[in-house]
Amino acid sequence: MSTTAQCQHCGMELEPTHIDPCPNCGKQGKNVQVVLNEIVHLSDEVLVTKTHEFYAKNFKITVLLILMFVVSPILGLFFGGTTGLVLGVILGGLGFVLSPHAILKTRTIEHL
Ligand SMILES: [Zn+2]
């Protein structure tokens, strides 16, 4: 911090604490200038994320499920009884296991 003073009439440098009339021009009044120099450090953090959401499709599994959907009722025409029951359970189980892999909702989150 620095403080300077000048006579407001003739501009002569005065002490900031000077209260008497100006020794140069004899008039009363002064201008006082105070300068403050501060260094301010600011910091902040912003977290930015990029999210990408999409459906990942597995073409081979989708075709296989469609074939199983079409072939299952046709097998019922040729295989009856226990054989038809076993084939139906096998195809149903395969469909249950494979169907979540045909279309999978996928989300990627990238922190930038
Ligand atoms: Zn003066």
Are 77 and 27 in contact by the 8 Å Cβ rule? The answer is no
Is 71 contained in some domain? yes
CA distance linking residue 100 with residue 67, whole number of Å = 16
User: Of 112, 7, 2, 4, which is closest to residue 50 (Cα–Cα)?
Assistant: 112
Whole-number Å distance, alpha carbon 36 to ligand 1 midpoint, is: 26
Give yes or no: residues 63 and 24 share one domain: no
Whole-number Å distance, alpha carbon 33 to ligand 1 midpoint, is: 16
Give yes or no: residues 55 and 107 share one domain: yes
pTM for the model: 0.46
What total of structural domains would you count in the chain? Answer: 2
Give yes or no: residues 63 and 19 share one domain: no
Whole-number Å distance, alpha carbon 3 to ligand 1 midpoint, is: 18
Give yes or no: residues 30 and 80 share one domain: no
Are 49 and 111 in contact by the 8 Å Cβ rule? The answer is yes
Whole-number Å distance, alpha carbon 17 to ligand 1 midpoint, is: 15
Is 43 contained in some domain? no
Give yes or no: residues 28 and 56 share one domain: no
Give yes or no: residues 57 and 98 share one domain: yes
Per-residue tokens: 95: 């469909």
Residue-number span of the structural domain to which 102 is assigned: 49-111
Give yes or no: residues 24 and 65 share one domain: no
In the chain, the percentage of residues whose pLDDT exceeds 70 is: 100
- Per-residue pLDDT of 23-74, as tens digits, reads 999 999 999 988 888 888 888 888 899 999 999 899 999 999 999 899 888 8
Whole-number Å distance, alpha carbon 1 to ligand 1 midpoint, is: 25
Whole-number Å distance, alpha carbon 35 to ligand 1 midpoint, is: 22
User: Of 56, 64, 59, 67, which is closest to residue 103 (Cα–Cα)?
Assistant: 56
